[in-house]
Amino acid sequence: MSTDGNTPEENPPGEPASAEEPTPAEGPKKAAKSAKPEKAEKGEKAPKTAKTSKDGKAEGSGRAATPAGPGEAGEAGRSDETGRSDKGGEGNEPEKSVGPRPGPAPDAGSASGAAAAPGPVPELTPAPPPAAAPVTGRQRLLNSLWPPRLTRAQLTVAVLLCVLGLGLAIQVRSTSDNSALRGARQEDLVRILDELDNRTKRLEDEKRRLENQRTELESSSNQAAEARKQTAQKEQQLGILAGTVGAQGPGIELTVSDPKGLVEADKLLDAIQELRAAGAEAIQINDVRVAADTYFSGAAGRVEIDGKKVSQPYRFKVIGKPQDLEPALNIPGGVVQTLEKEQAGVSVQRSEKIIVDALRPAKRPDYARSSSQ
């Protein structure tokens, strides 16, 4: 390890002169330029011939060692080593361009060798190969990894890698954090915003439409319910007038007993008219409902109402204001006196609850039509 440690230590001073870019293409050229002309030729030759028989050629040049300059030996040793180490790889995948890759390394090595120690290398021709031979890429990596050395290069690289790690972490966090919006470009954001706006507008429109519809339906249903209610009320009122529904309320009960059969139909009609004039709202005689088209017929004792024979005693059930109805019947020369003159028994009773439950069938007029519409 100590010898390995030496070579990297020696290499860095040479490196800035020779080895530059990570990209391999520039390496060889610069190295070739900085090196001597024969070596440039050699350097260019070496990669080309490497594919065929690098091992042999390198060894041959190493053995001869006469024609080339001081750097030759180092280069020979390096290329020898790399050639051997790469042989397996070349054998496995010959079609791949492995040639250019070992190229830079030998050149760099040779250039550094030439720059660092131009003089002593030729004398120590056998010495450098064992020293340089073990330094492979893997070992270089391990060397730089394990004994942590606080060099300038390490520090600068550490700072840059720190920045990279920072950026990496920020980016990963921001992309995983909140969806794709954070890293999105401006035009994408504008497009997304437009889409959202359009969508919002569409939804607003739809909402307004639906709300209008709802209020419409509500008001119409309200109106319909109101109309139904009013219609029902009107039907009740009209039904009471027409006699098609039962009625109840305060009123009086007028009983006319006519044992001798002397009361005529017009006397009953007079009583009805008197009651109506006093504000009677629903009238029933025995079990016949009195309505607008009620008629009286027949002689005394065999009175018919609406063609229905009613027999005495005639019981009037009248709904209205009792305080008005009773005096109306009892006024001097009124219904009660007239009936008593006919020798009929008349009695009037107030009541808080009169039930008129006799009904008339609803009749549809054949000819008369409403003119209000």
Q: Could you list the residues that contact another protein (CB under 8 A)? A: 8, 11-12, 15-16, 18-24, 27, 85, 88-89, 92, 98, 101, 104-105, 108-109, 135-138, 140-141, 144-150, 152-171, 173-175, 182-183, 185-188
Query: Please, what is the minimum distance in Å from the beta carbon of residue 49 to another protein?
Result: 20
Query: In terms of CB distance, is 24 or 345 closer to another protein?
Result: 24
Select 95 or 187, whichever has its Cβ closest to another protein. 187
Could you tell me which residues are beta bridge partners of residue 284? 289, 317
For another protein, the closer CB: 4 or 270: 4
> Which CB, 167 or 279, lies closer to another protein?
167
**CB-nearer residue toward another protein: 161 or 238:** 161
Token code pair at residue 68: 């080339």
Per the CB < 8 A criterion, the answer to whether 321 and 253 are in contact is no
Nearer to another protein, 9 or 266 (CB): 9
Q: How far is the CB of 140 from another protein (least distance, A)?
A: 6
Cβ closer to another protein: 187 or 352? 187
Gap between the Cα atoms of 222 and 19, Å rounded: 93
The minimum distance between CB 157 and another protein, in angstroms, equals 4
**Dist. CA 115–CA 136, nearest whole Å:** 21
Pairwise CA distance, residues 289 & 316, whole Å? 10
Nearest of 86, 85, 108, 80 to residue 24 by alpha carbon: 108
Contact residues for 42 (Cβ-Cβ < 8 A; gap 6+): 61, 68, 72, 75
DSSP class of residue 342 equals: T
**Least Å distance between CB 48 and another protein?**
19
Alpha helices in 96-244 (DSSP H): 104-116, 120-123, 128-132, 137-145, 152-177, 186-242
Look at the block and give the residue holding tokens 């008005």. 324
Shortest separation between residue 147's beta carbon and another protein, angstroms:
8
**Least distance between another protein and beta carbon 210 (Å):** 39
**CB of 65: closest distance to another protein in angstroms?**
23
Cis peptide before 313 (omega within 30 of 0): yes
Three-class DSSP labels, 195-238: HHHHHHHHHHHHHHHHHHHHHHHHHHHHHHHHHHHHHHHHHHHH
